Structure formats: structure tokens, C-alpha cells
Amino acid sequence: MKNIIIAIDGYSSCGKSTLARQLAKELNYHYVDTGAMYRAVTLYLIQNQIDIHHPEMVANVLNQISIAFDFDEATQTQITLLNGENIENQIRINPRVASAVSDVSALSEVRRFLVKQQQELGKNKGIVMDGRDIGTVVFPTAELKLFITAEASIRANRRLEELKEKGQNTTYEEVLANLAKRDHIDTTRADSPLVKASDAIEIDNSNLSKDEQLDQVLKLVKGLQMNGNG
Ligand code: DC
């Protein structure tokens, strides 16, 4: 069967990465979490005290940033490396990253820098990539485009659980407010705002279990592969 590109877009904390990871495992595809790449750039800018409100200063340091992914077989998780250092934990729990990442990802210089790398990662297909602009900008010709949504309260609760599991002490209200802020910036920025591609299939997973969602999507993938569209 031919390899295809699966592009998954949607709001923050909709379970995109869970679905992407499941699909990659099931299909033996590579998974790329593009949000992690924007988080890695954000962490670098924070660590090096680069003012994100000066795009020219940000642009000047991008060539010092190298992002790579490793896979931890023991825990079956992807590890993001920034200039060779494992930053997976930091980019997930550092509140400064969470609050600055949407502003950083609104910068055209940063987007151009990362989109080029994402396109390179997908050039051999056999890839599941999740983010906000994958079906619209990174891979506009992807064979399968999914747009994932879920109710805001459900997303906030899921994110709260995730943070608690990682030992972060936060409240439902804080998480909900952070999600609302990120959604607003992601959907209203001038460069590649989050929008559903016209040919994307929308899945609202508010009332779906992870496995039900996976089954639905696997049927779509199999259909594409059998029809020879892959
Ligand atoms: O998916 P995430 O929450 O890890 O994404 C972090 C931020 O990066 C989010 O505010 C949106 C932005 N992002 C983006 O603009 N484009 C992508 N392809 C992926 C993420």
C-alpha cells in the first residue's frame, strides 16, 4: 500500500497528538508534533532572553536553533531535542512557554523557518503531522486532512488532568483561560491562522473515546488506500 500524508489540525488540547500518535503506531508511520517545534523555539527565546516583540531580533537567532526528535522505546514517547538537549518536559510544563508560544508562532519569520523543516520531514510521505496549518499551508495536497474539535470545557478538563499528572499545580479556570487566549491568537493571526481546510474532514471528539476516534479515522485511511488515492 502506498504511503500517504495525514494532516491533523485543530484547536489546542483537542487530542490531536493522541490521535496522531495512535495512527502513526497503527500504520507504522512517522509522527511529527509541530506544536513541539514552536514550543522549542519559544523555549530557546526565553532561555536566551530574546524579546519576542522584536521580530528582527528573533529572526537573527533562528539559525542557532536546531530541533530534532528522538523516540523513547521504553515509554513509547517522542522526545523533542533542542540543540541536542532533551527539552520534552520543559516545553510541556513551563508556564512561560505556554503563555508565549502563541505569540511566537504568530511571527512569519518563525513560521517560514519551521514550515520548511516540516515539509522536508514529510517529503517521503508515510507521515502523520499535527498542528494548526498542516492541511492549509504545510501540506495543502495531503491525501487525508482532519480537523479535530471538542467542547471547550472538555478540552480544559483534559489539559488539567495532563498537567496534574505532570505535577503542575493549576486550576480549571487558569487552564480554560489559557486555552481561550491561545485559540484567539491562533485563529486571528495574520500569517496562516488556524482554519479548517475546505477539503478537511471535521471530527468532534467531545463524546468519542480515543479508540472510537481511532477506528473512525482508520476506516478513512483504509478507504483511501483501497481506492488507490494513496
Ligand atoms: O499544539 P500545541 O499546543 O503544542 O501548539 C503550541 C502553539 O503553537 C499553539 O499556540 C499554536 C502554535 N502552532 C502553530 O501555530 N502551528 C502549528 N503547526 C503548530 C502549533
From first to last of the 230 residues of the chain, give the pLDDT tens digit: 789 999 999 998 999 999 999 999 999 999 999 999 999 999 999 999 999 999 999 999 999 999 999 988 777 788 999 999 999 999 998 989 988 999 999 999 999 999 999 999 999 999 999 999 999 999 999 999 999 999 999 999 999 998 899 888 899 999 999 899 989 999 999 999 999 999 999 999 999 999 999 999 999 999 888 776 54
Residue nearest to atom 15 of ligand 1 (CA): 105
User: What is the whole-number distance in angstroms between the Cα of residue 132 and the centre of ligand 1?
Assistant: 6
Q: What's the CATH code of the domain at 70? A: 3.40.50.300
Task: Give the cell for residue 83.
Answer: 540543540
Pairing of strands 85-86, 77-82: antiparallel
175 contacts 156 by C-beta, under 8 angstroms: yes
Q: Is 191 exposed, middle or buried (0-12, 13-18, 19+ CB in 10 A)?
A: middle
104 contacts 52 by C-beta, under 8 angstroms: yes
Does 172 reside within a domain?
A: yes
Does 33 reside within a domain?
A: yes
Interatomic CA distance for residues 20 and 32, integer angstroms: 8
Does 229 reside within a domain?
A: no
Per-residue pLDDT of 93-120, as tens digits, reads 898 998 899 999 999 999 999 999 999 9
Does 178 reside within a domain?
A: yes
Identify the domain containing residue 141 by its residue range. 5-221
Name the residue of 8, 14, 38, 129 whose CB sits within 8 Å of the most ligand 1 atoms, as the mutation to test its pocket. Answer: 38
Does 228 reside within a domain?
A: no
Interatomic CA distance for residues 170 and 46, integer angstroms: 21
Neighbours of 89 (CB within 10 A): 12
Number of domains in the chain: 1
Does 230 reside within a domain?
A: no
Interatomic CA distance for residues 128 and 21, integer angstroms: 8
Does 194 reside within a domain?
A: yes
Instruction: State pTM to two decimals.
Output: 0.94
Name the residue of 96, 132, 175, 189 whose CB sits within 8 Å of the most ligand 1 atoms, as the mutation to test its pocket. Answer: 132
Residue nearest to atom 16 of ligand 1 (CA): 132
